[in-house]
Structures are given as C-alpha cells and as structure tokens.
Amino acid sequence: MPFSGQSHIRIARPSRDLAAAERFWVDGLGLGVLYRAEGGGAPGEHDLLMMGRPDASWHLELVHEAAAPVQPRPTEEDLLVVYLDGEVPEELVARLVEHGGRRVQSPNPYWNEWGVTVEDPDGYRLVLSTRGWSNS
C-alpha cells in the first residue's frame, strides 16, 4: 500500500529513563504499552518502549541504549499535540504532573490560549489542546 492518510505513524525518540517516561505517558496520560523489549546492555542493543492506543493510527516509541545513551535534545517547539475538542481536565494535568511531568508556558502564545503544555521527564512537550481537529 502506498503512503496515504491511513498510513500508521511512529514517533520515535530517545529517553534517559524509560521507567520515568512510562509513568508519565502511561500512568499520567493513559496510553497503553503496545510493545516492550529489553536489549541486554551490549553495544548496539537498546531497550524499547512503544506506547499508544489500540484504535490510533500512531504510536510513540522511546528507546534507550545503556552502552551508548543518546541524550534527548528537545526544544520548546518539539510538541506532541492532542486535540481534546473541549476543556482540558484539571485532574488529567494533575495526574501528568504527579507522574513526572512539569506544567510549562509555551513560547508560542497560541498554545497558552488554546491548551495546556506539560513537559515529560525527557523535556519533550505534550500540548493538550482545547480545540478540535478538522482537516477540512
């Protein structure tokens, strides 16, 4: 099948600490663990954590290689935006913070007006947007 709007997307990132990231994304946001692999620690082997929702056409993959760790280098504009099409539940934000996140202001006023930004343990930003998404 050629690339289309139905193609599955994987967002892959390095992580300093997969356990901390899992607490944020799974226990905090509510994603499920889709796949997990332990590399064993030898050079070239890495630990892998894939998270998402079974009904989604995307998933988030985090990797860590103990023998040669790659340090995450997120910027303030590296965002994963979830469009909630409604108010951001304060209990969700509190749960993200309780599980290792940090609520931050965005340098882009648009995201401060239309959502809440929470930084994950690796410094990547999740925006919970009050807006809905429509491609029309």
Kindly state whether residues 84 and 57 are assigned to the same domain: no
* Tokens 């988030």 -> residue: 60
Whole-angstrom distance, CA of residue 136 vs CA of residue 15: 35
pLDDT at 91: 98
Rounded to whole angstroms, the Cα distance separating 128 from 37 reads 29
Domain interval for residue 15: 9-64
Say if residue 1's pLDDT is above 70.
Answer: no
Could you tell me if residue 136 is inside a domain? no
Q: Provide mean pLDDT across the span 97-118.
A: 97
Predicted structure pTM score? 0.91
Please indicate, yes or no, whether residues 45 and 86 belong to a single structural domain of this protein. no
Q: Report, as an integer, the average pLDDT of 12-32.
A: 97
Q: What percent of the chain has pLDDT over 90?
A: 77
Give the pLDDT band of residue 2 (cuts 50, 70, 90): confident
Cα distance between residue 53 and residue 71, in whole Å: 26
Whole-number pLDDT of residue 136: 42
Q: At 23, which amino acid appears?
A: R
